[in-house]
Amino acid sequence: MSADFDIDLFVATIARHYEAWNPPIITFIATRGASPFEVLVSTILSLRTKDEVTSEAAKRLFAVARTPEELLALGEKRIAQLIYPVGFYPTKAKRLVEISGILMRRYGGAVPADLDEMLTLPGVGRKTANLVMVEGFKQPAICVDTHVHRISNRIGYVATKTPEATEFALRERLPKKYWRVYNELLVAFGQVLCRPISPFCSKCPVREMCARIGVDKSR
């Protein structure tokens, strides 16, 4: 882990190039005025699913139901039909019904604006809860997915083995002013240039800063 890594320059450089890349689908949905519940549902749909599939599934579902009460009225079978072919769609349909019921019983139909409370919902892990805090409630939180975990280690900013460890390492080191944008920037960067295998180092705007940890082959 590099003690003198210039995170300000890194974030500023990625941010300058960001508009040329596609934003993550959840960011796109959130910027179109989605409620915290819609962000939560979209995030659950997006797990192990391509962005374009998530986008269409969310569009179909939200055309007929946008609240926990409306999702409960649809029922598990109809939700599964609407969100197909997202990954694990039967399980996700069941989870959405369970979550909607809990939100209606415990929180008056609203998503709690609290990370620990969200983590009590079935199927909601730290990545999902943090993303809802950022995109749904516009609160500072660090969402660590595979891109954030990989890139943060690849550049030498942290030295961790798991996404959860990366989240807590970033909480200690990453300036809070970057918490909300870090995931958004690195997901787009990771999808376009900083790929898991054979990243496009020759076209990378931050290649001079990168320790290239774990990079055996690049383009």
pLDDT digits (tens, 9 = 90+) for 2-43: 678 999 999 999 999 988 887 777 776 766 678 999 999 999
Average pLDDT, the chain: 94
* pLDDT attached to residue 27: 73
What is d(CA 183, CA 142) in angstroms, rounded to the nearest whole number? 7
* pLDDT attached to residue 22: 78
Q: Go through 70-86 and write b for each residue having 16 or more CB atoms within 10 A of its CB, e for each that does not.
A: ebbebebeebbebbeeb
What is d(CA 186, CA 157) in angstroms, rounded to the nearest whole number? 13
Cβ(61)–Cβ(29) below 8 Å: no
pLDDT in tens, 65-100: 999 999 999 999 999 999 999 999 999 999 999 999
pLDDT in tens, 132-152: 999 999 999 999 999 999 999
Domains and their CATH numbers in the chain: 7-21+142-203 (1.10.1670.10), 25-136 (1.10.340.30)
* pLDDT attached to residue 176: 97
Per-residue pLDDT, averaged over 88-113, amounts to 97
Query: Lowest mean pLDDT: which of 16-30, 146-160, 191-205?
Result: 16-30
